[in-house]
Structure 1
Amino acid sequence: MDAQPNSPEARDIRYHLHPYTNARALQQAGPLIIEKGDGIYVEDNAGNRYIEAMAGLWSVAVGFSEPRLVEAATRQMAKLPFYHNFSSKAHSPLIDLAERLVGMAPVPMSKAFFTNSGSEANDTVVKMLWYRSNALGQPQKKKIISRKRGYHGVTVASASMTGLPNNHISFDLPIANILHTASPHHWRDALPGESEEQFSTRLAGELEQMILAEGPDTVAAFIGEPLMGAGGVIVPPAGYWEKIQAVLARYDILLVADEVICGFGRTGNMFGSQTFGLRPDIMVMSKQLSSSYLPISALLINDKVFEPLADESNRIGTFGHGFTAGGHPVAAAVALENLKLIEERDLVGNARSVGARMQARLRELAGHELVGEVRGVGLIAAVELVADKAGKAPWGKAGALGTLVNGLLQNNGVISRNMGDALAFCPPLIITEAQVDTMVDALRRALDAALPQVRG
């Protein structure tokens, strides 16, 4: 990279280890440094303006310049800048937020527990499940089934549940008692001539066989995103969740819905569990909870989970788990104001209506030579790129085409993210139809620009 020694780019390379980044490649190419945000747009330090088509990291529901969230943080910072909820302590923003979330849940929930990130929340889920099994006198019931290509975080336990190889390789993961069943990606993984319903039936059967092989009395829970996000925006096929839940019910296995990406409107309902008919025992949420203006996450648990935890904490004398900043009063205040904005401005309805426009416009690209599949719901979608449509084959090494088109798209003023060869689109919930059109038109230009390189 050719940069002045004291430029932001050079200092970033010198001092900053980036997550989810090839460190050596970064040293050559340098970072993109974002300095400002406004609505659905961000601006880099050279003054270039971009549609942020990933809402940051699937998370900025209300856009990058919402004054009411800044004001909520400022008010709370002046009143009570920090307090905790350890040892029977509480504060008003957290009480209000817990009540609000339990009341919003699409199925009966009992309590909210607060953490700082989706990873921490899912790590907490693992500990709660193990704690609960011990409380019930079932010390063998510790296994958790996740899915290949599922994403649940990067802490030791949550990364183990994540079903992506790069989250495991060289980290010595997954840990024991974490299992992975098949990804529900019909386009990629269905047998020739297999309908969505037949594919779902087969996957449910494979799950049941795994449970029986492991021993139903050893399996505590199944965790899944209603719609899989970072694994490629994989929409569950027809009948999938109904059949999966029937298997879980047969063997008294809890369902954990990871709503970190889907929650708070992304799929066109307040929760992805509503969109796809899940009836979870535990719900995990973060990201759009505060539009990521401040770090906060939560998990909701029903009485089936809470009552054994309460009994065990009474036997031991405490529930020995928590985070210093979990349920931080400033983050809680921002989350409460963010939820008000989502409801007042009907951003869930916007995700349905403008999301329908986004889905339709993206599907217009399905005939492009480089597009294998377009999939999504509401304001979340993916465009899967291929060099050979009939064989669904990549261009050279898997991910090379996605990287190429993603770079060209950024040059056209849109920030996306390629997960291998799947380009994701998850813009702020405030996006308009006209802005969707601008975004999709830029994608078409990027695809057309890539075509000569791919065809050689």
Structure 2
Amino acid sequence: MTSPSTAFFAQFDDEKLVAADKAHYVHGYHVFDDHRENGALNIAAGEGAYIYDTKGNRYLDAVGGMWCTNIGLGREEMAEAIADQVRQLAYSNPFCDMANVTAIQLCEKLAELAPGDLDHVFLTTGGSTAVDTAYRLIQYYQNCRGKHSKKQIISRVNAYHGSTFLTMSLGGKVADHPAEFDFLKDFIHHISCPNPYRAPEGMTEGDFLEFLVKEFEDKILELGADNVAAFFAEPIMGSGGVIIPPVGYHKRMWEVCQKYDLLYVADEVVTSFGRLGAFFASEDVFGMQPDIITTAKGLTSGYLPLGACIFSDRIWKVIAEPNQGRCFSHGFTYSGHPVSCVSALKNIEIIQRENLLEHVKDVGSYLEQRLQELAGLPLVGSVRCQKLMACVEFVADKRSKTLFPEELNIGEKIHLRAQKRGLLVRPIVHLNVMSPPLTITHAQVDEIVDTLREAILETAEDLKRSGDYAGH
């Protein structure tokens, strides 16, 4: 789309929208007191890497929606493909003995793009349902093998795997486990977050890697290898703070899985479809082939909801063994939705035609380089970036890496100052996280880094004046 006109924004009554939002719209991660007082930023339009609020203010969306607007907003050819599919076939029953053309074509394409023998695809409605499906598939697989006790799952502290009851339980972020919610605990176990910045004092990265691998193996032995079914891991942790593990981590953890007959589930809901310069990061970036990959977000670049659980021949041959009379009794009304599937096919076509994976390698390396310039600023403890996944972690003391009190909400303070300057980053307590569209330019990288620098410096000065920051 072209940039919206002044007349476009004149149609919105912002006061009424704010009131209606506060009265009726329950947001994801709704912070009741803050929303009651401050409301939300109401978005009305988007083009490329930019979004516009209802007042016409433009923002460079360095969050990429929610790690997902990979090809950018307002693509005319995407709108046409979606509209054509709606006219042709808006919905089709996905259960049992029915299929639709676009779902078949997409599954074939995903099998082609996925590493090795990951040739089987269960389409879902998003990332949470893809991970939920992966767990049900694991249960089914182990029961088909006669290994009925092999159901324990190992995940990691600071992991994020979704927001259903199961997937939030799989996640390991303390902030995602408030006392008001209940969680599954009996069969889910969390080992250390592989964050080199927070490694035990005195450990080299190599030492830290050995510590993590040993901890994993020890946990399997503690639980009993015959009881442990799978290991769930994001190649790079997203919402947990863009945690880039020590070099060789995923391959070493995969080797432990092989040793003890565990399935390795790579949660690539964020890292797939170009964010790290590959369609799937597990093999191309980290040199290992998982048994299951979950994906969503960049699969359609956020144009429509869709997810997928992609799994290996090894699993398929067990669950689909002939003459067993089995039924995989799992599915969703909107699994394989033809309109969502056509948006994924068009999205993949655009990524390939415009050579966006190579573009990400170039512009992502530039983002890595530019963001490191912020490392010496006050408040900045760690800068983490791999291609188009980035995070700045803020600390009260650089030497001790001591965090600010959570109630200070340092990430939000910096985010709001950036927002006033036309930049959106994602605040997560002590962090500002970024995942811009794959189409971002070098000039837009400069805009992100220069604006964020100004917001950090202004925040540091304000905190010094208020006595909340000593400047160490």
TM-score by length of 1: 0.96
- Does structure 1 conserve the Cα–Cα contact (< 8 Å) formed by 2:254 and 2:290? no
SS at structure 1 position matched to 2:321: helix
What residue number does 1:174 align with? 184
Deviates more, 1:226-235 or 1:4-13: 4-13
Are residue 288 (structure 1) and residue 290 (structure 2) matched? no
Distance in 1, matches of 2:138 and 2:126, equals 18
AA aligned to 1:404 is K
What residue number does 1:160 align with? 169
CA pair 297-315 structure 1, distance change in 2 beyond 3 A:
same
- Does structure 2 conserve the Cα–Cα contact (< 8 Å) formed by 1:135 and 1:311? no
Matches within 5 A, 1:183-222: 183-188=193-198, 190-222=199-231
Count matched residues. Answer: 451
Matches within 5 A, 1:39-188: 39-169=48-178, 170-188=180-198
- Does structure 2 conserve the Cα–Cα contact (< 8 Å) formed by 1:268 and 1:377? no
Question: Structure 2 residue aligned with 1:16, among 25, 37, 47?
Answer: 25
Question: Structure 2 residue aligned with 1:426, among 435, 445, 449?
Answer: 435
Residue by residue over 1:316-339, the C-alpha shift from the partner in whole angstroms, topping out at 9 and shown as x without a partner, is 542110000011000000100000
Are residue 279 (structure 1) and residue 277 (structure 2) matched? no
Residue by residue over 1:359-386, the C-alpha shift from the partner in whole angstroms, topping out at 9 and shown as x without a partner, is 1111001000111011121111101111
Residue by residue over 1:261-307, the C-alpha shift from the partner in whole angstroms, topping out at 9 and shown as x without a partner, is 00011012222212112310001010000001000000111011112
Residue by residue over 1:128-168, the C-alpha shift from the partner in whole angstroms, topping out at 9 and shown as x without a partner, is 11111111101000011111111110111111111112332
CA pair 212-350 structure 1, distance change in 2 beyond 3 A:
same
Deviates more, 1:321-330 or 1:164-173: 164-173
AA aligned to 2:109 is R
- Does structure 2 conserve the Cα–Cα contact (< 8 Å) formed by 1:55 and 1:428? yes
Stretches of 4+ moved more than 6 A in 1? none
CA pair 307-86 structure 1, distance change in 2 beyond 3 A:
same
What residue number does 1:29 align with? 38
SS at structure 2 position matched to 1:439: helix
What residue number does 2:455 align with? 446
Distance in 1, matches of 2:421 and 2:115, equals 40
- Does structure 1 conserve the Cα–Cα contact (< 8 Å) formed by 2:112 and 2:119? no
Residue by residue over 1:222-280, the C-alpha shift from the partner in whole angstroms, topping out at 9 and shown as x without a partner, is 01011110100001112211221121111011100111000011012222212112310
SS at structure 2 position matched to 1:311: coil
Matches within 5 A, 1:363-378: 363-378=372-387
- Does structure 2 conserve the Cα–Cα contact (< 8 Å) formed by 1:147 and 1:181? yes
Matches within 5 A, 1:321-340: 321-340=330-349
Distance in 1, matches of 2:24 and 2:45, equals 22
CA pair 455-316 structure 1, distance change in 2 beyond 3 A:
farther
Report deviation, 1:180: 0.8
What residue number does 2:313 align with? 303
What residue number does 2:420 align with? 411
Distance in 2, matches of 1:277 and 1:150, equals 21
Structure 1 runs not aligned, ≥5 long: none
- Does structure 2 conserve the Cα–Cα contact (< 8 Å) formed by 1:362 and 1:440? yes
Are residue 344 (structure 1) and residue 350 (structure 2) matched? no
CA pair 408-26 structure 1, distance change in 2 beyond 3 A:
same
SS at structure 2 position matched to 1:367: coil
- Does structure 1 conserve the Cα–Cα contact (< 8 Å) formed by 2:120 and 2:310? yes
Are residue 248 (structure 1) and residue 269 (structure 2) matched? no
Are residue 381 (structure 1) and residue 390 (structure 2) matched? yes
CA pair 205-102 structure 1, distance change in 2 beyond 3 A:
same
AA aligned to 1:119 is S
Report deviation, 1:399: 6.3
- Does structure 2 conserve the Cα–Cα contact (< 8 Å) formed by 1:107 and 1:280? no
SS at structure 2 position matched to 1:157: helix
AA aligned to 2:183 is L
SS at structure 1 position matched to 2:264: strand
Report deviation, 1:397: 2.7
Report deviation, 1:394: 2.1
Distance in 2, matches of 1:85 and 1:159, equals 27
- Does structure 2 conserve the Cα–Cα contact (< 8 Å) formed by 1:400 and 1:421? yes
AA aligned to 1:255 is Y
TM-score by length of 2: 0.93
CA pair 386-402 structure 1, distance change in 2 beyond 3 A:
same
Distance in 2, matches of 1:359 and 1:82, equals 43
Distance in 2, matches of 1:406 and 1:98, equals 39
- Does structure 2 conserve the Cα–Cα contact (< 8 Å) formed by 1:394 and 1:401? no
AA aligned to 1:178 is I
Residue by residue over 1:192-233, the C-alpha shift from the partner in whole angstroms, topping out at 9 and shown as x without a partner, is 221111101100000100000000000111010111101000
Distance in 2, matches of 1:325 and 1:29, equals 35
CA pair 363-301 structure 1, distance change in 2 beyond 3 A:
same
Structure 2 runs not aligned, ≥5 long: 1-12, 466-472
Distance in 2, matches of 1:127 and 1:81, equals 28
SS at structure 2 position matched to 1:384: strand
AA aligned to 1:281 is D
SS at structure 2 position matched to 1:249: helix
CA pair 198-103 structure 1, distance change in 2 beyond 3 A:
same
SS at structure 2 position matched to 1:114: strand
Distance in 1, matches of 2:14 and 2:231, equals 51
SS at structure 1 position matched to 2:309: strand
- Does structure 1 conserve the Cα–Cα contact (< 8 Å) formed by 2:235 and 2:271? yes
